Structure 1
């Protein structure tokens, strides 16, 4: 694999057997795709790029997107039927991206949770502030024997000037998932800068596309700076733990 170009297309970076663990590809359930055919198109394009398995993760957020496990499972079955009718063959599963809020605490207690794989859970915080009971929620997850994976930590602006906060989360056993789009500058230069800093510091454990729509697909397909290509591929290889 050559990384001599200034920008390396995503298809040249992606490792064999890649599992995308963060996306919003269940139709009309959150701020992701709006129709099953939009979903099918993006899924087919991801397959063509080289993605071997998708674990899509709709938002679960109180008042805004209070999706239940039943809703997610039903929507996933709907997409699988469409994929079958279009002869698009790819492993397509569903979990969720859980906002660390009161609804999550309630769902955790009721065991109304869909893990990514095994006991891993993808969770997120507001991009403006950490929940005041963050430590309590992390402790409750540990009691329930779940391993938290924080989605896109590079996007949490309240930590950008407090890098020690990332260290504290890692010390608590929290895993980090990089949004690949962050490295393209899609969320702004500051997020890109922090993403690169965390990538070079080996903070990230996994990666994901966090793809919602056609525009993000186009950005993802264009790829990433060549100087980080090898590092990105090595990170993406860690997602192999979700292949089963």
Structure 2
């Protein structure tokens, strides 16, 4: 259990999805004093050049770079992730234990079945977490918001609801992604442009869209409320 309720909980189908989709946002919000956590749903293994032990060490390295105060793995099965009632209950229990104000889930359209299942699980577990007279652990709790980040395996032209300026966080986000060497470097040395260059180009594109150097796109199924317009760039 985190020492205090989380302000933000990022739910990632696999270790590295949080870093890819919103590593800059994680860094920025921690800098602003927010209590941020990441919940990886699976180990992410097997993969062509990875294994369980390697992935654990890579995740630890990325977690240190991001400065995350809390990170756990739900222990669901990679490649077989499904929005079952059992998985829903496990995730709802985490929500009730960590009590996050905001949830961040993958974008709901993707070619990767694990990502689709993860988003469905987040939506359902958020609802279950507030139920009274249930067999869930802890006290009922309902996270205020769900936002969706982009870490997709689909040639999708994103149309985000907002883009966050991560110019000052870009280099550390890049380092956190690079920590997953077995996923993005090993066996891919011959590919040009490299995976890292493509990720940088994408972040630069979103930065250009908002008049900054680097950005991260987000969206939401629910309306996004503003108390005033002073924080808009």
Alignment TM class, shorter chain as reference: 0.3 to 0.5
Q: Which has the higher helix share?
A: 1
TM-score (norm 2): 0.36
TM-score of the pair, normalised by structure 1:
0.35
